[in-house]
Amino acid sequence: MTKKQRNNKKFKPMTGNKIETFTPGRGSVITFGEPEPILTTGTDYHNIWYDNEYDHWRLPIDRLALAQLPNLNGQHGGVLYARRNMVAGGYIGGGLTPDQVEQAVFDYLLFGDVAILKIRNVFGEVIDLLPLPSLYLRCRKDGSFAVLQEGPALIYDPEDIVFFKMYDPRQQVYGLPDYIGGIHSVLLNSEATIFRRRYYNNGAHMGFILYTSDPNLTLEMENEIKEKIAQSKGLGNFRNMFINIPKGDPEGVKIMPVGEVSAKDEFANIKGITAQDIFTAHRFPAGLAGIIPTNGAIMGNPETARATYRKDEVIPLQRKLMNGVNNDPEIPPHLHLVFDVDIPAITAEKGEK
C-alpha cells in the first residue's frame, strides 16, 4: 500500500469483479406541433428616408403588413369593406368604373393614399382615368411617382397624377391610414382567436408533456420515441403510440396536459375589448357592424347611426375625391367624378330623410 493510500482513510482496495455504477440518463425536451405564424412585425412606424439605390422615399409603415391585416381580423376587415361600400355606393358616374372606384377607395382607406393616373392620347389630352395600386406606389424626390414591379419601375410625371392622401404630421410624402392606433388591438384579437382554435384542437388544453421515468426504458427506445414525435408535423398528426417496456413501471410513462380547461380564460374579455378598440379606431358605429348588445344594452337606431356616419365620414371623402379630380384643369368635364353628396336630414325617430 502506498503512502498516499495509507493517508486516505476512505480508501479501500478493490477486490473481485468491478463495482457496477448507475449513470442517470440525460434529460431531453421535444416540442409537440409547430408554432403558429402570425403577423407581429412590420406594423411599426419608421421615419422615412430616401433610398438612393432604388430612387424613392421609403415607406413609414410596411404596406404588405397593412395589406395582410384585413384578412387576420374579422372586425378590421369588415369595417374596411363597409366603409368602402358606403363611399363607392354613392358613385353616380364619371371617368372611373364602379370597380375602379372601389379599388381607389379601398386603397385610400387601407394604405392612407391613392394615385389616379391621367391617361393621355398622342396629342397630350386626357382621355381616361386609372387608379394605381397603392401597395406598390412610391414617391420620388423630383415629385414623380414610381410603381414597383418585376424589372424597372413604372415612372409617372407629377402632372400625370392626381394624388390623394391622409395627412401625417410626421411626414408629408405619403399618407397614413386613420386606423393606425388600433393595429395592436387588431393583432391581439387575431392572436386570441388563433390561440383559442389551437386550444380546442388540442382537447381543451395548451399542450402535452410526455414524461418518462421508467429505468427500464432503454436509450434505443427513447431515441425511437423522440423520432416518432419529431416526425409528426403539425397539430393532430401525433395521435397514438404503442410503447412496450418489459417489466416496466405502469407509472413510468405519462402524458400530462398543460393548462387545463378549468383555468381562468380571458378570451371573451380580450375579444370584446379589442373589437371595441377597432371600431373606435375606425370611428365606425357598433350598430352598423353587427354587434349584438349584451347585458341589456341598447345600440340605438341603426338608420340614425348610418345617416350620421354618412354625413361625418362618407360624404367628406366623396367630396375630396370629386374636388381633386374635377378641379384639375386638364381633366375634361365628361371625366369628372359625380357622387351623391346631399347631406341627409336626420331625425331621432326615423333616421335619414
pLDDT, tens only, 250-266: 777 776 665 554 445 67
Report the alpha-carbon distance of residue 17 to residue 173 in Å, rounded: 86
More confident residue, 192 or 327: 327
> Which pLDDT belongs to residue 216?
72
CA distance 193 to 262: 18
User: Does the structure show a pLDDT above 80 at 120?
Assistant: yes
Give the residue from 154, 111, 152 showing the smallest Cα distance to 134.
111
Say whether both 162 and 292 belong to one domain. yes
> Max alpha carbon distance in the chain (Å)?
116
Higher pLDDT pick, 161 / 16: 161
Q: How confident is the model at residue 121 (pLDDT cuts 50, 70, 90)?
A: very high
Q: Which residue has the higher pLDDT, 283 or 264?
A: 283
> What would the mean pLDDT of 127-147 be, rounded to a whole number?
98
Q: How many of the other CB atoms lie within 10 Å of CB of 177?
A: 22
Spatial distance between the Cα atoms of 142 and 230, rounded to a whole number of angstroms? 56
**How far apart, in whole angstroms, are the C-alpha atoms of residue 143 and residue 56?**
10
Number of domains composing the chain: 2
152 and 81 in a single domain? The answer is yes
Which amino acid is located at 342 in the chain? D
Both 144 and 211 in one domain: the answer is no
- pLDDT for residue 156: 98
Q: Which helix (H) or strand (E) holds 156?
A: strand 154-156
Mean pLDDT score across all residues of the chain: 81
Q: Is 30 among the domain residues? A: no
Residue 278 lies in a domain: no
**Torsion region of 111: left, alpha or beta (phi above 0 gives left; psi -120 to 50 gives alpha):** alpha
* pLDDT number for residue 263: 45
Query: What is the pLDDT at residue 300?
Result: 72
Domain presence at residue 292: yes
Structural domain containing residue 225: 207-258
Same domain, 171 and 290: yes
Whether residues 72 and 146 fall in one domain:
yes
When pLDDT is averaged across residues 208-235 and rounded to a whole number, the result is 70
Q: Grade residue 303 by pLDDT with cuts at 50, 70 and 90.
A: confident
With a cut of 60, say whether residue 352 has pLDDT above it. no
- Asked whether residue 171 falls in the same domain as residue 293, the answer is yes
User: Is residue 19 pLDDT above 50, yes or no?
Assistant: no
Confidence class of residue 207 from pLDDT cuts 50, 70 and 90? low
